[in-house]
Structure formats: structure tokens, C-alpha cells
Chain A
Amino acid sequence: MQQFFPNGIEIYLVGGLLLGVAVSFAFAMSGLVTGMSTVFSSTWSFVSRLSYFRQDRFVSSRGWRLALALGLVLGGALFLLTAAHGVLFQTQVPGWRLAIGGFIAGFGARMSNGCTSGHGICGIASFQMPSILAVVIFLVTAIATAQLVATLGGV
């Protein structure tokens, strides 16, 4: 076990259950399906006239999706002020990898209509085969990419 989970399993299991409770809460209260990547498209509908962003599914959900994103920041801050005792964490992954990786991940998630939460949590939990296949595919390409970067001497 120690070999596969050097940091234990408690934080991962409890954290995962919290994510599930959060997604279930949104569904129970308002029927919302809370994938996290859509906000990166729906928010563009505030300022862009492009037909893609003018779709009703973006315009009609852009308000609550922004609120969801704001909540994510507040939830992270709540953790920082309570469990983390105010100790900040900052990544050592180089900026160019965050920029290029973010761009490719943003493009891909929106093209695919889902990311680790949309396909990974909401899609798998509703037993949708396209989402299950998408998760397998992005796990494979992510593992290949991360292993390649590590081989080349990256963080």
C-alpha cells in the first residue's frame, strides 16, 4: 500500500467524497450538472459575438457557471484558512508548461465537451459510454505526456 500511496489514502478518499457530495448537492437542489470546463466557453458569451458562444446552453448557464467558479476559489480559500493554517502552496511547474498545457487542455476539453469533472465525474456517474471512453483516452495521453516530460528531465 505504502508503495502505491506514499501520502496515505485518507485525504484522497475524503476529498473525493466531498467532490461527490458537492456535485450531488447541485443536482438535488437545482438539477445542475457541474462540469468545470464549460465556464471557459460560457464566460466568452459575455463579450464575444461568435455564433459558437451565442448558443443558448452557454448564454443561459453563464451566470451560475461563474458563481460556481467563484465558489471554487472561495472553497480553496476556506481550506487555506482552516485545515492549511494559512500556509500558501505554489507550484514549481514552469510557467511555459502551465501556459501551453493550459491552452491545449482548454482547447481539448471544450472540443470534447468535458474534462476530468465533466466526463470523469458527471459522465462516468451517469454511465455514458462516450464519457467513459473519453476518460480512458485522456488518461492514456496524459500519462504518456507526463512520462515523456519526466524522461526529458522535467519536474
Chain B
Amino acid sequence: MKASTVIVALLTGVLFGFGLAYSTMVKPEVVLSFLRFQDFGLLLVLGGAVVVTAIAYLVLPRIMPRPLLGGAFGRHPSEMNGRTMGGAALFGVGWGLSGVCPGPAIAGLGVGNWPLLIAILGMFAGAYVQGLLASARSPASPGAAR
């Protein structure tokens, strides 16, 4: 792994974490107030992020042969199948119960929201069980389960 990739990821995290804190998404109470139709701010956060990102995803690969520091432009792995949709349905239940999703859970530690450590441990445990079940399903083809 290139050192530049690690540094870019670190800086990306700093800016992303600051944005999550600035927009109060690190407060589960604010996320829950959106899900209860009391404050629709979350839609502005998501919408603002999507617009900027969509422009970058559309324009950059057309004007640059490769990323500035080398490598190749990636693409989010997204497949139309039951796992994607079933997993999304489950994710929503967990998100709606706790008010916490992966990015804000981690960034929330930075603003001193220590109780979110409980959610992070829960996410690591959930991800482990998912990997355990996926491994049991297709032990011979580790690359297949994209």
C-alpha cells in the first residue's frame, strides 16, 4: 500500500469527520428527530454530499487519465440482489433503533460522545457474524461474495 493513499485517507477522514460533527450528525438524537419527521436537516446533509460527489464522479474521470497520485478511479460495488436489499432493510432497523450509522459512530468519538463506543463494538460484532455466515456459505470461493 502506498503511503500517499494512507495520507489521503487520513485527510479525507478529518474533513469528513469535521463535516459530520458540524452538521450534528454525530448526535443520534438529531438523526432520530429526522426519522420522526421533526427535523429534515439530514436530507440536506445527504443531498449536499451527493451533489458535490456526483459532480466529482462525473467530471474527474473525463478530464484526468488517473487520480493525481496514481492508481485508478474506483467505483462503489453495488449489486441488484437480495443481499443488498435485505442487508439494507436490516441496516435501517439498526439505524432507526440506535440513531447511529458507521461514519457518525466513529467521528462521534472525536467530539467526546463516548457512549458511541458501545455502538462501534456492536458494529464490529455484527460485521464479524456477517463474515462468519458468509464464510460458511462459500468457503471455497473467497472472492465470489462481492
Q: Which A residues are within 8 Å of any B CB, using their own CB?
A: 4-7, 9, 11-37, 39-41, 43-44, 48, 50-57, 60, 63-65, 67-80, 83-84, 88-93, 95, 97-131, 133-135, 137-147, 149-150, 155
| In the complex, residue of chain A having the shortest beta-carbon distance to the beta carbon of B44 | A12
Are B48 and A52 closer than 8 Å at their CB atoms?
no
Out of B19, B29, B95, which one reaches A75, CB within 8 Å? B19
Are B127 and A125 closer than 8 Å at their CB atoms?
no
**Number of B residues whose C-beta is below 8 Å from A?**
127
Interface residue SS majority, chain A: helix
Interface contact tally, CB-CB below 8 A: 556
Are A108 and B94 closer than 8 Å at their CB atoms?
yes
| In the complex, residue of chain B having the shortest beta-carbon distance to the beta carbon of A82 | B18
Tell me which residues from 107 to 144 in chain B have a Cβ below 8 Å from any Cβ of chain A.
107-116, 118-132, 134-135, 138-140, 142-143
B20-48 vs A, CB cutoff 8 Å, 1 = contact: the mask equals: 11111111111010011111111011111
| In the complex, residue of chain B having the shortest beta-carbon distance to the beta carbon of A88 | B112
| In the complex, residue of chain A having the shortest beta-carbon distance to the beta carbon of B129 | A107
| In the complex, residue of chain B having the shortest beta-carbon distance to the beta carbon of A120 | B46
Out of B47, B51, B78, B120, which one reaches A123, CB within 8 Å? B78
Are B142 and A64 closer than 8 Å at their CB atoms?
no
Known A-B contacts A33-B76, A90-B112; the reply to A101 vs B48 at CB < 8 A is no
A69 to B143, CA, bound (A): 25
Out of A23, A68, A69, A71, which one reaches B53, CB within 8 Å? A23
Residues of B within 8 A of A114 (CB): 76, 78, 84, 88
Out of A12, A41, A53, which one reaches B23, CB within 8 Å? A12
A148 to B14, CA, bound (A): 35
Are A13 and B5 closer than 8 Å at their CB atoms?
no
| In the complex, residue of chain B having the shortest beta-carbon distance to the beta carbon of A122 | B76
Out of B1, B20, B45, B84, which one reaches A63, CB within 8 Å? B1
A72 to B132, CA, bound (A): 27
Out of B100, B131, B145, B146, which one reaches A48, CB within 8 Å? B131
| In the complex, residue of chain B having the shortest beta-carbon distance to the beta carbon of A24 | B56
Are A26 and B107 closer than 8 Å at their CB atoms?
no
A95 to B96, CA, bound (A): 14
Are A31 and B78 closer than 8 Å at their CB atoms?
no
| In the complex, residue of chain B having the shortest beta-carbon distance to the beta carbon of A116 | B101
A147 to B124, CA, bound (A): 26
A54 to B69, CA, bound (A): 27
User: Which 10 A-B residue pairs are closest in the complex by CB-CB distance?
Assistant: A71-B13, A76-B110, A15-B23, A75-B17, A16-B48, A20-B52, A101-B98, A102-B122, A112-B87, A106-B126
